[in-house]
Each structure stands twice: as structure tokens, then as C-alpha cells.
Amino acid sequence: MIRRRYVDGRWGQVHLTEAGSGPTLVLLHQSPLSASQFLPAFPALAAAGVHVVAIDTAGFGASDPPPAPASIIDHAEALLPVLDALGPHPVHLLGHHTGAGIAAAFAARHGARLHSLILNGVPLFDAATRAHFATFRFAPLHPLADGSHLQAAWDQRLRASPGWRNLAAMHRHVATMLANPDRYHWGFDAAFAYDIAADLPRITVPTLVFSNSGEDLYAASQQAAALRPDWRFAALDGGTHDIVDEQPEAWAAVVAGFVKAF
């Protein structure tokens, strides 16, 4: 059974979605989505004996926003009161794309709060990757009388997901972005400004770098894993950055297998 609740956070209330029992796994979503990104994998994670807790990052989903755009490190520090609300024991932490940046920043500063870390699609940006994303228009989606802003949002999401096949997921994620038109891009801005390479050497908890061969951060994830040969690396075949929708059981099997090892 999926449960939803709020806890008090740094900038207001934080919305959590959770299910299952067992070791606690906290999930941090990609930009510009919400905890609902992980719902397709909840049944498999719960069946594997994991207590899964997905967080709406501040300013996304149903969580209150910060008063101004926050950095990745700000978002990492904002996890502390949320984890306090979950209890005194360390947790397992997984972040996807922007969430992976937040997870890495948190692990580099508060490793004692974690049993393990999973970086799913590592935002390690080289010059070529930054140049690619610089061609996207990450800006407010102001409503227009002819509705063309809706088409712009759809087109942007299609371009970011080459090879996509899941129409229901595409629709749901674009709707999530449109629900937050004035600040959906804050997550992208924070991710591109964060230097994850500086924090990777500081992480001391057991870590899995996880990706899939069809996503846009696959090469970056491989590079991150190469920087830390003491970490594990796993990858699924194909898919896009919507891999949780596309292969929920396979995704959950890798994640639960790593979590249950600690």
C-alpha cells in the first residue's frame, strides 16, 4: 500500500511517498519531475523487502519551494530535517540525474547518515555534454493565448528523450513540468552549476553507479565509475532517462539487490 505524508523541511513542508517495509531507501528524482517518477517501481521494491521513500524535491511536486533558486548543495543540506523525520538510523540513498547530484553532495558531507549510495545517471558534465544541453531552452513556460507554450513543453521533452516509446510516461512527465511553469527550470540550472567531480572523491559510503545504455548520461556515468574503481557499476540495456517507467522490474531488481547487500 502506497502512503503519502508531509514532514517539516528547511523551506516549508516536504511531500513524501512511501511503501513497503525493511531497510529504508530514499529516492531523489530528476528534473523537473517529482517523486511520482518512481511509482512504477514501488511494487517491485516493496515486494523485495525495501521500505521505499520518494521525496518531492523542494519546489517540485507537492513540496513547498525555497524563496529563491537553490543550489545542489542547498538541496543536499535540506535533506537533513527530512531524514531526521524518518528516524535516527542511517538510510540508503538513490538519486536520479539531478537527484544524483543532490545525493552525491549529501554523501560527500554527511556520509554517517547513509548505509549506501546509488547514483543513477551521474550528472558529470564534460564540455561536449554542457554544449549539448546549452542548446535547450530551460526557461519559464509563460502561458500563451494560443496554447503554443504547451507544444513547446512537449517538444522540449521529446527532444530530451531520443528513442522514447512510453507515451503515457511522456504525457505524465510533461504535465508535471507544466504544473510548475515558473520554476521547473531551477533544477536544471542547479544541476549544470554543480561540480560533482569535486565531491566524488569525498564519498566514503558503499556506492553503486547505475545507468542504462540508452540514456543521455550513460557515458557520463561510465566516466564517474572510472574515477572510483572501488565502486560498483551496473547498467540496463536500452531505455531512455525514463528507464523507471520502461523497465520498472529490472530497475528495481538492481536497486534492491544493492540495498539488501548492506
Q: What secondary structure does DSSP assign to 217-249, as a single string?
A: THHHHHHHHHH-TTSEEEEESS--TTHHHHSHH
pLDDT at residue 137 in the model: 74
Q: Which residues contact 104 (CB under 8 A, 6 or more apart)?
A: 95, 117, 119, 122, 196, 199, 200, 203
Q: Is 96 helix (H, G, I), strand (E, B) or coil?
A: strand
pTM given for the model: 0.95
pLDDT at residue 28 in the model: 98
pLDDT at 156: 86
> What is the pLDDT, as a whole number, of residue 133?
77
Cα separation, 250 vs 222, in Å, equals: 19
Per-residue pLDDT of the chain (262 residues), as tens digits, is 899 999 999 999 999 999 999 999 999 999 999 999 999 999 999 999 999 999 999 999 999 999 999 999 999 999 999 999 999 999 999 999 999 999 999 999 999 999 999 999 999 998 887 887 778 778 888 889 999 999 989 998 888 888 888 899 999 999 998 888 889 899 999 999 999 999 999 999 999 999 999 998 999 999 999 999 999 999 999 999 899 999 999 999 999 999 999 8
Q: How far is CA 74 from CA 10, 71, 141, 190, 230, in A?
A: 10, 5, 25, 10, 28
Transcribe 45-76 into DSSP letters. Answer: HHHTT-EEEEE--TTSTTSPPPSS---HHHHH
Structural domain of 249? 3-259
Q: What's the pLDDT score for residue 90?
A: 97
d(CA 9, CA 58): 9
Whichever domain contains 137, its CATH number is 3.40.50.1820
Query: Within 13 Å and on the Cβ side, how many CA atoms surround 222?
Result: 9
- Whole-number Å distance between alpha carbons of 8 and 6: 7
User: How far out from the chain centre does Cα 23 lie?
Assistant: 19
Number of domains in the chain: 1
